[in-house]
């Protein structure tokens, strides 16, 4: 069979078209890849079609053009947005799990979720010397930037369409140099607390069924009582998923502060498994269990079946933290009218109980810590310099792809082999080498544990109340003041 004919069969078998549409589908494919066809060579059909399009001079041979055509071809196997939404909500009537199972499978099958690319990521678990379970990933899934795309973005002027990578207008967008290809994107429309929102999966997922909930309007992120109401609404709708929000301030927030959105998925993060180390009793909220979590960052957890009490108490804690200062520990809520405090709120379900983690964040800087007082400190930048967002707050490190090759050179250095260790790793590598005997048999285990310890320290740096005697004093002072104001 020729490759165009083969893909036409795959399109029809996907259910988006009927057998009667065969000629029409073939011509849709030819319009994209050219009229000249070739024999199927047994490899993935869409990849063959992209190579065919290049051979037919339909597209140039570059990363962006390949990506755009890839998504156009897979769009032929994908139900229209209205049909996708109809099927999803029909399945929701049976069970939320059946609905998300179907939608996730669709997004994998149509290559919107890039499973092949995601499989390249390096991932392992470990336990730090402080006793915290942590997950380490080195992100290798996202393709390198196309030089043409970088140039196009540098010369872009005027109003963008879509305004950002999260906007609803991305659904079906062709893309191009400096613009994301989204022909095969489908977004589930949903109502969250009386407002129109969308639900989609992340193409380069950081964990299982990594999804995004997005406001249908392009409005800035904001953490307040409405955030907690929205998180509860999502948990009631999709109880099999956790959901949380990045903080809404620079340094401690995510990379998309301009568009209100949350992240969720089917994964139990290390922070969710961490226990409460000190209970806090709010007399005015007898149905809410509360306490400080045994975690490197500063996490106050609320647990209750009573969602209204959980929202009310959580909102009061957020508001109190927004204005709380402790100069002795460099914790300052405001500098003039500039706010420096917020939280990273995360919600999941344990049976009928809602579990809300409120991780306290502070984005102050100083001469000593110009990138953030509560941010990974300079000694750790050789491994992690980027913001600590929602996923990392919960104990899953997202480390840069450069480390794959750089850490191989460190292992060679430890084994006294020829190497090209970069200067930024040298001091750390020497400390590890001096502390233990490293052999070819244990070098990988030593490296993994060393990364776990680094990530533990990254999270400790980001915590406003440290896990030491002074941090405990800070926690006690904060809780005492909080109880006076809330109860």
Domain membership flag for residue 430: no
Q: How distant, in Å, are the alpha carbons of 137, 252, 363, 406 from that of 246?
A: 19, 8, 13, 29
CA distance 355 to 19: 50
Residue 254 is predicted with a pLDDT of 79
Check whether 124 has a pLDDT greater than 90: yes
Give me the percent of the chain exceeding a pLDDT of 70. 97
What pLDDT does 98 receive?
98
Q: Which structure tokens are listed for 82?
A: 């209205």
Residue 136 inside a domain? The answer is no
Taking the whole predicted model, whether its pTM rises above 0.75 is answered as: yes
| CA–CA gap between residue 140 and residue 193 (Å, rounded) | 37
Best CA proximity match to 185, nearest among 101, 98, 263, 72: 72
* Strand 195-201 with 211-215, pairing: antiparallel
Instruction: Identify whether the C-beta of residue 285 lies closer than 8 Å to the C-beta of residue 145.
Output: no
For the chain, helix (H) and strand (E) counts, in that order, are 16, 15
Residue 10 lies in a domain: yes
Residue 394 reports pLDDT greater than 70: yes
- Evaluate if residue 308 carries a pLDDT over 80: yes
Using the structure block, give the residue that is written with the tokens 């750089």.
Answer: 406
State the Cα–Cα distance between residues 26 and 160, nearest whole angstrom.
34
pLDDT of residue 145: 56
- Residue 29 included in any domain: yes
464 within domain boundaries? no
402-458 per-position pLDDT tens digit: 999 999 999 999 999 999 999 999 999 999 999 999 999 999 999 999 999 999 999
Q: Are 316 and 365 in contact (CB under 8 A)?
A: no
The confidence score (pLDDT) of residue 141 equals: 87
Kindly report, residue by residue over 217-259, the tens digit of the pLDDT: 999 999 999 999 999 999 999 999 999 999 999 999 877 899 9
What average pLDDT does this structure show over 284-308?
98
Q: Count CA within 13 A, CB hemisphere, residue 209.
A: 20
53 located within any domain: yes
Q: Is residue 28 part of a domain?
A: yes
Confidence (pLDDT) at 155: 61
Considering the domain boundaries, does residue 318 fall inside one? no
List the domain range (segments joined by +) for residue 16: 3-58
Distance from C-alpha of 337 to C-alpha of 368, rounded to nearest angstrom: 23
* Mean of pLDDT values over 47-61: 97
Cα separation, 143 vs 141, in Å, equals 6
Which pLDDT does position 152 carry in this prediction? Answer: 63
Number of domains composing the chain: 1
What's the token pair of residue 16?
């988006």
């Amino acid at each position: 069979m020729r490759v165009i004919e083969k893909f036409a069969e795959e399109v029809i078998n996907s259910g988006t078209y009927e057998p009667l549409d065969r000629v029409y589908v073939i011509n849709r494919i030819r319009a994209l890849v050219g009229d000249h066809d070739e024999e199927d060579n047994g490899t993935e059909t869409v990849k063959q079609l992209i190579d065919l399009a290049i051979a037919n001079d339909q597209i140039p041979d570059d990363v962006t053009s390949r990506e755009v055509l890839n998504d156009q071809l897979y769009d032929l196997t994908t139900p229209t947005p209205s049909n996708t939404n109809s099927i999803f909500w029909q399945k929701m009537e049976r069970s939320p799990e059946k609905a998300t199972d179907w939608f996730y499978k669709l997004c994998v099958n149509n290559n919107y979720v890039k499973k092949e690319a995601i499989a390249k990521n390096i991932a392992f678990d470990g336990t730090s010397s402080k006793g915290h379970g942590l997950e380490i990933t080195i992100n290798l899934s996202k393709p390198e930037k196309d030089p043409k795309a970088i140039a196009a973005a540098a010369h872009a002027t005027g109003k963008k369409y879509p305004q950002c990578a999260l906007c609803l207008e991305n659904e079906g967008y062709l893309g191009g140099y400096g613009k994301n290809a989204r022909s095969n994107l489908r977004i589930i429309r949903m109502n969250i607390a009386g407002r129109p929102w969308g639900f989609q999966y992340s193409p380069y997922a950081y964990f299982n069924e990594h999804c995004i909930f997005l406001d249908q309007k392009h409005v800035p992120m904001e953490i307040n009582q409405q955030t907690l109401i929205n998180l509860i609404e999502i948990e009631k709708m999709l109880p099999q998923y956790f959901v949380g929000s990045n903080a809404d301030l620079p340094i401690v927030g995510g990379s998309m502060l301009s568009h209100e959105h949350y992240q969720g998925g089917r994964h139990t993060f290390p922070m969710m498994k961490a226990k409460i180390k000190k209970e806090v009793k709010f007399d005015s909220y007898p149905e809410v269990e509360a306490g400080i979590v045994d975690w490197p960052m500063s996490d106050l957890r609320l647990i209750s079946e009573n969602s209204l009490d959980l929202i009310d108490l959580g909102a009061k804690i957020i508001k109190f933290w927004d204005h709380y200062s402790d100069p002795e520990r460099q914790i300052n809520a405001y500098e003039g009218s500039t706010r420096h405090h917020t939280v990273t709120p995360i919600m999941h379900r344990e049976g009928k109980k809602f579990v809300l983690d409120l991780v306290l964040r502070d984005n102050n800087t100083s001469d000593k810590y110009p990138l953030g007082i509560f941010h990974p400190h300079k000694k750790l930048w050789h491994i992690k310099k980027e913001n600590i967002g929602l996923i990392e707050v919960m104990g899953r490190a997202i480390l840069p792809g450069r480390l794959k090759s750089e850490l191989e050179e460190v292992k060679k250095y430890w084994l006294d082999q020829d190497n090209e260790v970069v200067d930024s790793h040298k001091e750390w590598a020497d400390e590890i080498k001096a502390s233990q005997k490293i052999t070819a048999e244990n070098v990988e285990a030593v490296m993994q544990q060393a990364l776990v310890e680094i990530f533990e320290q990254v999270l400790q740096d980001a915590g406003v109340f440290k896990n030491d005697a002074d941090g405990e004093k800070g926690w006690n002072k904060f809780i005492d003041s909080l109880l006076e104001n809330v109860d």
